[in-house]
Protein backbone atom coordinates (compact mmCIF):
# COMPACT_ATOMS: atom_id res chain seq x y z
CA UNK A 1 0.00 0.00 0.00
CA UNK A 2 1.54 3.32 -1.07
CA UNK A 3 1.89 6.04 1.59
CA UNK A 4 -0.50 8.98 1.62
CA UNK A 5 0.84 12.01 -0.27
CA UNK A 6 2.49 14.74 1.77
CA UNK A 7 -0.02 17.54 2.51
CA UNK A 8 0.30 20.50 0.17
CA UNK A 9 -1.22 23.97 0.38
CA UNK A 10 -2.05 25.71 -2.89
CA UNK A 11 -2.58 29.44 -3.39
CA UNK A 12 -4.50 31.02 -6.25
CA UNK A 13 -3.60 34.34 -7.89
CA UNK A 14 -6.58 35.57 -9.90
CA UNK A 15 -10.32 35.17 -9.48
CA UNK A 16 -11.69 34.70 -12.96
CA UNK A 17 -13.03 31.66 -14.77
CA UNK A 18 -9.66 29.95 -15.19
CA UNK A 19 -8.72 30.56 -11.55
CA UNK A 20 -11.96 28.89 -10.53
CA UNK A 21 -11.29 25.86 -12.74
CA UNK A 22 -7.80 25.44 -11.32
CA UNK A 23 -9.05 25.76 -7.74
CA UNK A 24 -11.76 23.12 -8.34
CA UNK A 25 -9.28 20.69 -9.85
CA UNK A 26 -6.66 21.10 -7.11
CA UNK A 27 -9.26 20.78 -4.36
CA UNK A 28 -10.12 17.32 -5.70
CA UNK A 29 -6.55 15.99 -5.46
CA UNK A 30 -5.89 13.98 -2.26
CA UNK A 31 -3.63 15.75 0.21
CA UNK A 32 -4.17 19.23 -1.26
CA UNK A 33 -5.79 22.23 0.42
CA UNK A 34 -6.60 25.35 -1.57
CA UNK A 35 -5.62 27.68 1.23
CA UNK A 36 -5.84 31.22 -0.08
CA UNK A 37 -6.60 33.53 -2.98
CA UNK A 38 -5.48 36.97 -4.14
CA UNK A 39 -6.94 39.13 -6.88
CA UNK A 40 -6.65 42.81 -7.74
CA UNK A 41 -10.47 42.73 -7.68
CA UNK A 42 -11.06 41.73 -4.06
CA UNK A 43 -14.87 41.30 -4.34
CA UNK A 44 -14.37 38.64 -7.02
CA UNK A 45 -11.81 36.87 -4.84
CA UNK A 46 -14.19 36.97 -1.88
CA UNK A 47 -17.01 35.54 -3.98
CA UNK A 48 -14.83 32.68 -5.24
CA UNK A 49 -13.54 32.00 -1.73
CA UNK A 50 -17.12 31.71 -0.45
CA UNK A 51 -18.10 29.42 -3.31
CA UNK A 52 -15.16 27.03 -2.91
CA UNK A 53 -14.50 27.34 0.81
CA UNK A 54 -11.06 28.97 0.47
CA UNK A 55 -10.01 30.19 3.95
CA UNK A 56 -7.93 33.28 3.19
CA UNK A 57 -8.55 36.22 0.87
CA UNK A 58 -5.37 38.29 0.66
CA UNK A 59 -4.54 41.78 -0.58
CA UNK A 60 -1.13 40.94 -2.03
CA UNK A 61 0.96 38.03 -3.22
CA UNK A 62 3.28 38.62 -0.28
CA UNK A 63 0.39 38.28 2.16
CA UNK A 64 -0.89 35.24 0.26
CA UNK A 65 2.40 33.42 0.78
CA UNK A 66 2.72 34.52 4.39
CA UNK A 67 -0.78 33.46 5.46
CA UNK A 68 -0.99 30.18 3.55
CA UNK A 69 2.60 28.89 3.59
CA UNK A 70 1.67 27.43 0.21
CA UNK A 71 4.14 25.22 -1.61
CA UNK A 72 2.44 25.90 -4.95
CA UNK A 73 0.90 29.03 -6.41
CA UNK A 74 -1.34 29.04 -9.48
CA UNK A 75 -1.19 32.32 -11.40
CA UNK A 76 -4.32 32.61 -13.54
CA UNK A 77 -4.72 36.25 -14.48
CA UNK A 78 -5.41 38.05 -17.76
CA UNK A 79 -2.73 37.99 -20.44
CA UNK A 80 -1.72 41.67 -20.00
CA UNK A 81 -1.34 41.15 -16.24
CA UNK A 82 0.58 37.87 -16.39
CA UNK A 83 4.15 39.18 -16.57
CA UNK A 84 3.79 41.50 -13.58
CA UNK A 85 1.97 38.87 -11.49
CA UNK A 86 4.43 36.12 -12.40
CA UNK A 87 7.50 38.23 -11.61
CA UNK A 88 5.96 39.21 -8.25
CA UNK A 89 5.19 35.56 -7.48
CA UNK A 90 8.79 34.61 -8.29
CA UNK A 91 9.86 36.55 -5.19
CA UNK A 92 8.37 33.80 -2.99
CA UNK A 93 9.91 30.32 -2.53
CA UNK A 94 7.13 28.19 -4.00
CA UNK A 95 6.56 26.25 -7.18
CA UNK A 96 4.57 28.23 -9.75
CA UNK A 97 1.96 27.06 -12.23
CA UNK A 98 1.28 29.81 -14.77
CA UNK A 99 -1.82 29.84 -16.93
CA UNK A 100 -1.06 30.03 -20.65
CA UNK A 101 0.20 31.99 -22.38
CA UNK A 102 2.83 32.88 -19.79
CA UNK A 103 3.48 36.13 -21.66
CA UNK A 104 1.81 38.19 -24.37
CA UNK A 105 4.82 37.56 -26.64
CA UNK A 106 7.95 35.37 -26.38
CA UNK A 107 9.99 38.28 -24.99
CA UNK A 108 7.73 38.52 -21.93
CA UNK A 109 7.96 34.76 -21.41
CA UNK A 110 11.74 34.99 -21.74
CA UNK A 111 11.78 37.63 -18.99
CA UNK A 112 9.84 35.34 -16.67
CA UNK A 113 12.07 32.38 -17.55
CA UNK A 114 15.19 34.45 -16.86
CA UNK A 115 13.79 35.51 -13.50
CA UNK A 116 12.97 31.90 -12.63
CA UNK A 117 16.51 30.76 -13.47
CA UNK A 118 18.07 33.62 -11.50
CA UNK A 119 16.05 32.75 -8.40
CA UNK A 120 16.19 28.98 -8.82
CA UNK A 121 12.39 28.70 -9.01
CA UNK A 122 10.47 25.80 -10.51
CA UNK A 123 7.96 27.37 -12.91
CA UNK A 124 5.49 25.22 -14.85
CA UNK A 125 2.91 26.23 -17.45
CA UNK A 126 -0.69 25.00 -17.70
CA UNK A 127 -0.69 23.68 -21.26
CA UNK A 128 -3.65 21.53 -20.31
CA UNK A 129 -4.28 19.93 -23.73
CA UNK A 130 -1.39 17.61 -22.94
CA UNK A 131 -3.34 16.19 -20.03
CA UNK A 132 -6.59 15.43 -21.81
CA UNK A 133 -7.47 11.77 -21.47
CA UNK A 134 -7.63 11.64 -25.28
CA UNK A 135 -4.13 13.07 -25.67
CA UNK A 136 -2.69 10.73 -23.06
CA UNK A 137 -4.30 7.72 -24.77
CA UNK A 138 -2.87 8.83 -28.13
CA UNK A 139 0.62 9.21 -26.66
CA UNK A 140 0.38 5.75 -25.10
CA UNK A 141 -0.74 4.24 -28.40
CA UNK A 142 2.01 5.97 -30.34
CA UNK A 143 4.65 4.50 -28.03
CA UNK A 144 3.87 1.12 -29.62
CA UNK A 145 5.00 2.41 -33.04
CA UNK A 146 8.59 3.35 -33.78
CA UNK A 147 7.93 4.46 -37.36
CA UNK A 148 8.11 8.08 -38.57
CA UNK A 149 5.05 10.14 -37.69
CA UNK A 150 3.00 12.58 -39.76
CA UNK A 151 1.45 15.11 -37.38
CA UNK A 152 -1.27 17.35 -38.78
CA UNK A 153 -2.55 20.21 -36.66
CA UNK A 154 -5.73 22.05 -37.70
CA UNK A 155 -6.15 25.45 -36.10
CA UNK A 156 -8.96 28.02 -36.37
CA UNK A 157 -8.82 31.60 -35.13
CA UNK A 158 -10.63 34.90 -35.53
CA UNK A 159 -9.43 38.35 -34.52
CA UNK A 160 -12.98 39.68 -34.79
CA UNK A 161 -14.27 37.00 -32.43
CA UNK A 162 -11.42 37.65 -30.01
CA UNK A 163 -12.41 41.33 -29.96
CA UNK A 164 -16.12 40.53 -29.61
CA UNK A 165 -15.62 38.42 -26.49
CA UNK A 166 -13.82 41.28 -24.78
CA UNK A 167 -10.10 40.75 -25.18
CA UNK A 168 -8.09 44.00 -25.11
CA UNK A 169 -6.35 45.22 -28.29
CA UNK A 170 -2.85 44.10 -27.20
CA UNK A 171 -4.13 40.54 -26.75
CA UNK A 172 -5.95 40.58 -30.09
CA UNK A 173 -2.79 41.80 -31.85
CA UNK A 174 -0.96 38.77 -30.48
CA UNK A 175 -3.82 36.30 -30.73
CA UNK A 176 -1.65 33.53 -32.21
CA UNK A 177 0.37 33.53 -28.98
CA UNK A 178 -2.71 33.81 -26.78
CA UNK A 179 -4.72 31.06 -28.47
CA UNK A 180 -2.84 29.18 -31.20
CA UNK A 181 -0.38 28.08 -28.51
CA UNK A 182 -3.01 25.43 -27.66
CA UNK A 183 -2.63 23.80 -31.07
CA UNK A 184 1.02 24.48 -31.89
CA UNK A 185 2.04 22.89 -28.59
CA UNK A 186 0.89 19.51 -29.95
CA UNK A 187 3.93 19.46 -32.24
CA UNK A 188 6.18 19.61 -29.20
CA UNK A 189 5.11 16.28 -27.74
CA UNK A 190 3.53 14.34 -30.62
CA UNK A 191 6.39 14.92 -33.07
CA UNK A 192 9.81 13.81 -31.87
CA UNK A 193 13.02 15.78 -31.97
CA UNK A 194 13.81 19.40 -32.80
CA UNK A 195 12.27 21.38 -35.64
CA UNK A 196 14.89 21.48 -38.39
CA UNK A 197 12.96 23.14 -41.18
CA UNK A 198 9.75 25.08 -41.79
CA UNK A 199 8.41 25.69 -45.29
CA UNK A 200 5.75 28.40 -45.41
CA UNK A 201 3.39 27.04 -48.06
CA UNK A 202 0.78 29.76 -47.40
CA UNK A 203 2.35 32.39 -45.14
CA UNK A 204 0.79 34.74 -42.64
CA UNK A 205 0.41 38.17 -44.24
CA UNK A 206 -1.23 40.07 -41.43
CA UNK A 207 -4.79 40.60 -40.28
CA UNK A 208 -6.42 39.87 -43.63
CA UNK A 209 -4.87 36.41 -43.97
CA UNK A 210 -7.43 33.65 -44.41
CA UNK A 211 -5.29 30.50 -44.47
CA UNK A 212 -1.85 29.70 -43.03
CA UNK A 213 -0.11 26.51 -44.16
CA UNK A 214 3.34 25.37 -43.05
CA UNK A 215 5.32 22.16 -43.50
CA UNK A 216 7.58 21.13 -40.61
CA UNK A 217 10.47 18.66 -40.55
CA UNK A 218 11.89 17.26 -37.31
CA UNK A 219 15.31 15.82 -36.47
CA UNK A 220 13.70 12.43 -35.74
CA UNK A 221 12.40 12.11 -39.30
CA UNK A 222 8.85 13.01 -38.23
CA UNK A 223 7.04 15.58 -40.36
CA UNK A 224 4.17 17.95 -39.65
CA UNK A 225 1.59 20.11 -41.38
CA UNK A 226 0.16 23.18 -39.67
CA UNK A 227 -3.12 24.40 -41.14
CA UNK A 228 -4.82 27.47 -39.69
CA UNK A 229 -8.07 28.95 -40.93
CA UNK A 230 -8.60 32.56 -39.93
CA UNK A 231 -11.95 34.38 -40.00
CA UNK A 232 -13.89 31.27 -41.07
CA UNK A 233 -15.41 28.21 -39.42
CA UNK A 234 -13.12 25.28 -38.80
CA UNK A 235 -12.34 22.62 -36.21
CA UNK A 236 -9.53 22.32 -33.74
CA UNK A 237 -8.18 18.89 -34.60
CA UNK A 238 -4.94 16.90 -34.46
CA UNK A 239 -4.09 13.77 -36.42
CA UNK A 240 -1.03 11.56 -36.09
CA UNK A 241 -0.47 8.90 -38.73
CA UNK A 242 2.05 6.05 -38.70
CA UNK A 243 2.16 3.28 -41.33
CA UNK A 244 -0.23 0.93 -39.53
CA UNK A 245 -2.45 3.26 -37.47
CA UNK A 246 -4.06 6.67 -37.36
CA UNK A 247 -4.85 8.66 -34.20
CA UNK A 248 -7.29 11.55 -34.47
CA UNK A 249 -8.29 14.09 -31.81
CA UNK A 250 -11.46 15.69 -33.19
CA UNK A 251 -12.67 17.35 -31.09
CA UNK A 252 -9.48 17.44 -29.06
CA UNK A 253 -11.23 15.81 -26.10
CA UNK A 254 -12.12 12.71 -28.15
CA UNK A 255 -9.69 10.14 -29.56
CA UNK A 256 -10.52 7.98 -32.56
CA UNK A 257 -8.03 5.36 -33.72
CA UNK A 258 -8.00 3.38 -36.92
CA UNK A 259 -5.77 0.46 -37.82
CA UNK A 260 -4.92 -0.15 -41.46
CA UNK A 261 -7.80 -2.05 -43.08
CA UNK A 262 -10.11 -1.73 -40.05
CA UNK A 263 -12.96 0.54 -38.99
CA UNK A 264 -12.35 3.57 -36.72
CA UNK A 265 -12.73 3.04 -32.97
CA UNK A 266 -13.63 5.88 -30.61
CA UNK A 267 -12.02 5.80 -27.18
CA UNK A 268 -14.36 6.84 -24.31
CA UNK A 269 -13.38 10.17 -22.70
CA UNK A 270 -11.71 10.20 -19.30
CA UNK A 271 -14.22 10.67 -16.47
CA UNK A 272 -12.13 13.51 -15.02
CA UNK A 273 -12.44 15.43 -18.27
CA UNK A 274 -16.21 15.43 -17.90
CA UNK A 275 -16.22 16.47 -14.24
CA UNK A 276 -13.57 19.19 -14.54
CA UNK A 277 -12.30 21.44 -17.32
CA UNK A 278 -10.64 18.92 -19.63
CA UNK A 279 -7.06 18.18 -18.68
CA UNK A 280 -7.15 20.16 -15.43
CA UNK A 281 -7.52 17.29 -12.96
CA UNK A 282 -4.51 15.31 -14.22
CA UNK A 283 -2.59 18.54 -14.67
CA UNK A 284 -3.20 19.38 -11.00
CA UNK A 285 -1.75 16.02 -9.97
CA UNK A 286 1.34 16.64 -12.10
CA UNK A 287 1.77 20.12 -10.64
CA UNK A 288 1.43 18.78 -7.10
CA UNK A 289 4.15 16.19 -7.82
CA UNK A 290 6.48 19.00 -8.94
CA UNK A 291 5.70 21.07 -5.83
CA UNK A 292 6.45 18.08 -3.62
CA UNK A 293 9.87 17.74 -5.22
CA UNK A 294 9.12 14.66 -7.29
CA UNK A 295 9.58 14.02 -10.99
CA UNK A 296 6.89 15.66 -13.09
CA UNK A 297 6.46 15.85 -16.86
CA UNK A 298 4.48 19.08 -16.55
CA UNK A 299 5.83 21.65 -19.08
CA UNK A 300 8.35 24.12 -17.70
CA UNK A 301 8.52 27.82 -18.51
CA UNK A 302 11.32 26.97 -20.95
CA UNK A 303 9.10 24.36 -22.65
CA UNK A 304 6.37 26.98 -23.06
CA UNK A 305 8.92 29.47 -24.37
CA UNK A 306 9.94 26.90 -26.98
CA UNK A 307 6.32 26.57 -28.09
CA UNK A 308 5.90 30.35 -28.29
CA UNK A 309 9.04 30.59 -30.40
CA UNK A 310 7.59 27.96 -32.71
CA UNK A 311 4.39 30.05 -32.95
CA UNK A 312 6.55 33.01 -33.97
CA UNK A 313 8.32 30.86 -36.58
CA UNK A 314 4.92 29.90 -38.02
CA UNK A 315 3.77 33.54 -37.92
CA UNK A 316 6.86 35.57 -38.82
CA UNK A 317 6.47 39.34 -38.75
Task: Say what the pLDDT of residue 234 is.
Answer: 86
Q: Is residue 308 part of a domain?
A: no
Task: Say what the pLDDT of residue 10 is.
Answer: 98
Give residues with Cβ within 8 angstroms of 309, minimum separation 6.
106
Task: Say what the pLDDT of residue 1 is.
Answer: 54
Shared domain check, 87 and 43: yes
Q: Is residue 189 part of a domain?
A: yes
Kindly report the CATH number assigned to the domain that includes residue 15.
Answer: 3.40.50.720
Q: What range defines the domain where residue 41 resides?
A: 8-128
Task: Say what the pLDDT of residue 262 is.
Answer: 96
Shared domain check, 23 and 119: yes
224, 252, 267 - which closes a domain: 267
Q: Using CB atoms within 10 A of its CB, is residue 33 exposed (0-12), middle (13-18) or buried (19+)?
A: middle
Shared domain check, 60 and 20: yes
Per the structure, the count of domains in the chain is: 2
Q: Is residue 309 part of a domain?
A: no
Shared domain check, 193 and 89: no
Shared domain check, 245 and 153: yes
Task: Say what the pLDDT of residue 2 is.
Answer: 60
Shared domain check, 247 and 122: no
76, 105, 128 - which closes a domain: 128
Using 70 as the pLDDT threshold, list the residues of the chain that sit under it.
1-3
Q: Is residue 209 part of a domain?
A: yes
Task: Say what the pLDDT of residue 189 is.
Answer: 93
- Secondary structure (H, E, C), the chain: CCCCCCCEEEEEECCCHHHHHHHHHHHCCCCEEEEEEECCCHHHHHHHHHHHCCCEEECCHHHHHHHHCCCEEEECCCHHHHHHHHHHHCCCCCEEEEECCCCCCHHHHHHHHHHHHHHCCCEEEECHHHHCHHHHHHHHHHCCCCCCCEEEEEEEECHHHHHHCCCCHHHHHCHHHHCCHHHHHHHHHHCCCCEEEEEEEECCCCCCCCEEEEEEEECCCCEEEEEEEECCCCCCEEEEEECCEEEEECCCCCEEEEECCCCCEEECCCCHHHHCCCCHHHHHHHHHHHHCCCCCCCCEHHHHHHHHHHHHHHCCC
Task: Say what the pLDDT of residue 207 is.
Answer: 83
Q: Is residue 196 part of a domain?
A: yes
Shared domain check, 255 and 146: yes
Shared domain check, 248 and 153: yes
Shared domain check, 225 and 111: no
Task: Say what the pLDDT of residue 3 is.
Answer: 67
Kindly report the CATH number assigned to the domain that includes residue 161.
Answer: 3.30.360.10
Shared domain check, 111 and 48: yes
Shared domain check, 203 and 252: yes
Q: Is residue 137 part of a domain?
A: yes
Q: Is residue 305 part of a domain?
A: no
108, 128, 148 - which closes a domain: 128
Amino acid sequence: MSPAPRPLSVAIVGAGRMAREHARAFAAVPGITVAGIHSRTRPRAEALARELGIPYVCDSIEELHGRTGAGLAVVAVSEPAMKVAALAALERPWTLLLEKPPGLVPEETEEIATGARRRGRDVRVALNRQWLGSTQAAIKGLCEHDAPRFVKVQDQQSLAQATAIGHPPEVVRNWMFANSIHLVDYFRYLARGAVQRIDHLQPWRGEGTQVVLAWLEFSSGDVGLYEAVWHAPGPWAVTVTVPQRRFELRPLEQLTTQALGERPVTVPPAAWDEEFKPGFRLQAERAAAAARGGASPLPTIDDALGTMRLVRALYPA
